[in-house]
């Protein structure tokens, strides 16, 4: 949710199936969508709207660090992330999802292409896809922000520097800042106490109900 999405080209989806796509009556169970960037990106978040995809695997084409001629390597970031708890039923079928950097198996840095492998094993659905794909880059936090005191009681402030299986302080602080931003938005907006009047200036003369 940080910042703006990166400009990218979403290539048209390719079905993975044996035989001819057009003439065969079998519906494919796997689709591949590639998302290409103009220049290498460090990914923070991939968000999208699901449309009946059950499982999602994300692979990225990474530019290898320290290589001059731009050699690249495919790595898997997320394997079989479950979008629909039961592939035969509607739960999760049209929901919005986000996959964050923290959930990924490998660091999505210097990425030139993102490959989204969608799987739907159920024969119940005619089509499946993912839509509204947005990729957010990693934004560097350089300003110090005050954290309200009640928020600091939720997450422990004192953390030993010796990281014995504890999370990285930078990651924790970036997620705290996200939480803080969300709560600030909530608290600054007005209260939801209603007044209770249903008329407009004492008048409630209505003729017909509106269809729009």
Q: Which of 18, 20, 164, 204: binder of another protein (CB under 8 A)?
A: 204
Nearest CB to another protein, comparing residues 143 and 189: 189
Does 94 bind another protein (CB under 8 A)? Our answer is yes
Q: Which of 47, 57, 76, 173: binder of another protein (CB under 8 A)?
A: 47
Q: x/- string (CB under 8 A) for another protein, residues 20-39?
A: --------------------
Within 13 Å and on the Cβ side, how many CA atoms surround 105?
Answer: 12
- Residue 77, C-beta contacts closer than 8 angstroms, at least 6 positions apart: 58, 59, 60, 99, 104, 105, 106, 108
Rounded CA separation 133/166 (Å): 32
Q: Dig out the tokens for 77 from the structure.
A: 């970031």
> What distances in angstroms separate CA 127 from CA 123, 124, 160, one per listed residue?
9, 9, 51
Nearest CB to another protein, comparing residues 67 and 152: 152
CA trace torsion 180, 181, 187, 188 (10° rounding): 140
Minimum distance from residue 134 beta carbon to another protein (Å): 7
Nearest CB to another protein, comparing residues 156 and 160: 156
Does 182 bind another protein (CB under 8 A)? Our answer is yes
Say how many residues touch another protein, by CB under 8 A: 58
Which uninterrupted H or E stretch holds 171?
helix 169-188
* 25, burial (CB in 10 Å: exposed 0-12, middle 13-18, buried 19+): exposed
Minimal CA–CA distance to 177: which of 141, 123, 207, 137? 141
Does 123 bind another protein (CB under 8 A)? Our answer is yes
> Stretches 11-19, 72-80, 105-113, 202-210: which one binds another protein (CB under 8 A)?
202-210
Does 93 bind another protein (CB under 8 A)? Our answer is yes
Does 80 bind another protein (CB under 8 A)? Our answer is no
Question: Which parts of this chain interact with another protein (CB under 8 A)?
Answer: 1, 47, 49, 51-52, 85-86, 88-91, 93-98, 100, 102, 123-128, 132, 134, 151, 154-155, 175, 178-179, 182-183, 186-187, 189, 191-200, 203-212
């Amino acid at each position: 949710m940080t910042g703006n999405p990166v400009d990218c080209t979403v290539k048209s989806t390719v079905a993975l199936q044996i035989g001819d796509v057009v003439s065969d009556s079998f519906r494919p169970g796997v689709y591949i969508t590639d998302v290409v960037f103009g220049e290498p990106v460090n990914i923070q978040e991939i968000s999208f709207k699901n449309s009946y995809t059950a499982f999602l695997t994300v692979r990225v084409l990474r530019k290898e660090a320290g290589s001059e001629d731009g050699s690249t390597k495919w790595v898997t970031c997320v394997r079989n992330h479950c979008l629909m708890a039961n592939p035969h039923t509607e739960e999760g079928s049209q929901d919005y999802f986000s996959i964050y950097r923290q959930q990924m198996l490998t660091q999505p840095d210097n990425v030139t292409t993102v490959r989204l492998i969608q799987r739907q094993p159920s024969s119940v659905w005619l089509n499946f896809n993912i839509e509204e794909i947005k990729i957010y880059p990693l934004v560097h936090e350089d300003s110090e922000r005050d954290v309200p005191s009640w928020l600091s009681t939720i997450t422990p402030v004192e953390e030993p520097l010796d990281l014995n299986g504890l999370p990285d302080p930078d990651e924790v602080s970036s997620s705290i800042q996200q939480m803080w931003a969300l709560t600030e938005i909530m608290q600054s907006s007005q209260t939801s106490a209603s007044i209770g009047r249903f008329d407009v200036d004492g008048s409630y003369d209505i003729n017909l109900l509106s269809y729009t």
